[in-house]
Structure 1
């Protein structure tokens, strides 16, 4: 018969044994995201690469529909049922989550120092002291063109605005192609691929954007009105009926070979690669005159952070440290050409069009869209108003000066720059 001591020893060892077994079980981190298109990339490339170097941690990618993500994530976070890892929208939506205590500070995360101030600007507090998501990807603006059309017409890629309009005139005169594929029906296209594409060369990128936030510049100043003047000149090159042309119409017009130039965001690369039957090239927004510093909209689009109430903070931080690594950057940027790594370590990309876009970072200064940080928190919303005015200017229903006045008046009605 077993003694009481013996039973106690056996019980203790079995409890310790089971505790040891529980400890040895894999921890699963759940990832919240709106990028449901990325599910195969996570399952086939990113997750296997991470799990291979991090035994004991498993990842599960759980995307929602993009239009439902913000509301669904907010409800889950409020109910303490959200995943450990949160894919972060840029600027105010993620800042609000951090201010509610739902995203953790990542100031002490190894590798977070590998990102530039512009890269971190979308996921930090207004004072710049706390970063709460690892910057992952940006999209770059410029122009995609039909190389075969350019070769056929003997055209060179324009460097300056005068050269740009000379190219458009030559395409128009020849008559084979519509010079430029863009419509104004959906409004945002005119602002995002028009005003925010060419504007940074006028307001000098971050310098102008920050001066606007500080109240030192106004939207009625020449550097903010002049891009509208250039945009007004686009009207003659957009083809008949551009006012009724939607964003998908513009995409089709270009990929079917009917237009020679497409004012673009780099997110088009994957789709255009599969749809266009001709060789494509890209060029950055032309500068006003030769020798000017060039600026590009290199717009922060996606970050990844940690649920402040995660039951596995240690493992979540190990994952985020990997997200901040060059290994993650290389896999992600090549799996999604046109979504560029924000990591300071250069990423070698295999897609030639993506490589062309990202090469502009070496010669131009990067900035983000002027309306995205702080200036669209009130009503009227400056981002949405800029859509309307960009379309109005191209359509000829507002002058560039009227557009600047309307935008500044709307901003003045609610925004008081910090003194």
Structure 2
């Protein structure tokens, strides 16, 4: 379980080592940062880079993002051509693992900053045998539901804690108001899996127990917890907006920020968008448990890491930067500049945004897990992650039964993954 522990002093480089490393960075020594987080450009230029340069004025940073949908392919092409930046923002698990195996990412074994992260936090950027760490953990995102507080107050609704309360709340919104009860579309498919299946599912398959069971073969996607997750998703359909089958992710965001929808199945990354666009107060609640008294589980997904290009000519300066990124200073800067992206280090971080504060509070209330398709299980063909997108959307649309979704994904996994054969 990922928890924020009590504050520990950051083990900084010794003064001598810092001076030796800084001496390698001349005024012309610029580190170029590759990332898919194009929305963060101003945060880097206005907050992160100036804070780093207060400590290391001779190491220059240039944030050079690529649009999210193009990042993987663009980065691969740059790495192959030898034109990629010095600092590589890392996707979790297999995408970055493949880059490391291909020789594009530097091993970070021995990097002092890694001491400030738990093994769970580091797990998304380590080899299967645990011997090589190739990216420094940067942030996670947490799944749950965001709701319009004004609508809840208008209808005298309370935040639901159980499945029954959740559906009772949806029924009240539908029968007693003009608002869309549940704001999600299936046109892009990924939301159905990411904000649907992976959001509510951990309460059914018991978080890490179920996820690891799929990896070692002791559990199957046709088991009852997975069928029941899709059954739960199928029950969402009557509460979605008119024409939800054609509703894209951006449409869902717009519907909520315009105040026309009551509950939005969310990732914490949506907080920043809603802060900028919504003119009403909104809150968050964790995925409802199956029944009162059950242990709650949340998807606290390791989302962003930072690595070093193995071909970089500025590796020593890059290590200085990564060690600084492991500090409490960076964690606080990033968490408060980008609400909804949560530090993975062991430092205690004071988060100011009230909704982000609500999301991260669930770490101390619930058991944490990550999306069950991300580690190992999407390496083959068919790709489990892509299958989950498709079948989850079809289940919500009513064009596939939960049992059919379970059967299709299990058969797909059995085609290539030995422990499931």
- Residue from 147, 153, 156 that aligns with 2:155: 153
Aligned partners of 2:231, 2:210: CA distance in 1, in Å?
18
Alignment-derived partner of residue 6 in structure 1? none
Residue 38 (structure 1) shift: 1.5
Note if 1:233 corresponds to 2:212.
no
Kindly state the Cα deviation for residue 158 of structure 1 after the two structures are TM-superposed: 0.7
Q: TM-score, normalized by length of structure 1?
A: 0.91
Query: 1:28: how far off?
Result: 2.3
**Over alpha carbons, which structure has the higher Rg?**
1
Offset from partner CA, 1:208-263 (integer Å, 9 cap, x none) = 11110111100000111111111111112113322222222222222111111111
Q: Given that residues 124 and 132 in structure 1 are in contact (C-alpha distance below 8 angstroms), is that contact kept between their aligned partners in structure 2?
A: yes
Note closer, same or farther for the CA distance 1:65–1:252 as it changes in structure 2 (3 Å cut): closer
| Mapped partners of 1:216, 1:226: distance in 2 | 18
Is the contact between residue 25 and residue 58 of structure 2 (CA under 8 Å) also seen in structure 1? no
| Equivalent position of 1:129 in the other structure | 131
Q: 1:168 to 1:25 in 2, by over 3 A?
A: closer
2:396 paired residue number: 394
Question: CA contact under 8 A between 1:86 and 1:307: conserved in structure 2?
Answer: yes
Instruction: Check conservation: 2:146, 2:266, Cα contact below 8 A.
Output: yes
1-side partners of 2:146 and 2:403: how far apart? 29
Distance in 2 between the 1:403 and 1:126 partners? 29
Q: 1:135 to 1:22 in 2, by over 3 A?
A: closer
Residues 69-80 of structure 1 mapped to structure 2, 5 A cutoff? 69-80=71-82
Distance 1:306 1:418 in 2: 35
Selected match of 2:199 from 177, 197, 200: 197
Look up the match of 2:170: 168
Quote how far apart the aligned CAs of 1:25 are: 4.7
Aligned to 1:183: 185
Partners of 2:335 and 2:37 lie apart in 1 by: 14
Alpha-carbon distance in 2 for matches of 1:84, 1:280: 39
Counterpart among 48, 56, 59 of residue 54 in structure 1: 56
Deviates more, 1:76-85 or 1:272-281: 76-85
Give 1:290's aligned residue.
292
Selected match of 2:145 from 135, 143, 146: 143
| Count of aligned pairs | 399
Structure 2 residues not aligned, in runs of 5+: 1-22
Change in Cα spacing, 1:409 to 1:172, as seen in structure 2 (3 Å) is: same
Range 271-280 or range 218-227, more displaced: 271-280
Q: Which of structures 1 and 2 has the larger relative contact order (alpha carbons within 8 angstroms, sep 6+)?
A: 2
Residue pair 1:153, 1:171 contacting (<8 A) in 2 also: yes
When the two chains are superposed, the root-mean-square deviation of aligned CA atoms in Å is: 1.8
Q: CA deviation at 1:26?
A: 5.5
Runs of 4+ in 1 over 6 A off after TM superposition: none
Give the Å deviation of 1:131. 1.4
2:388 is aligned with 1:365 = no
CA contact (8 A) 1:184 1:242 kept: yes
More displaced 10-residue stretch of structure 1: 41-50 or 77-86: 77-86
The alignment's TM-score, normalised by the length of structure 2, stands at 0.90
Distance (whole Å) between structure 2 residues aligned to residue 146 and residue 22 of structure 1: 52
- Name stretches of at least 5 consecutive residues in structure 1 with no aligned partner: 1-20
Change in CA separation of 1:23 and 1:370 when aligned onto 2, cut-off 3 Å: closer
**Retained in 1: the 8 A contact 2:413–2:420?**
no
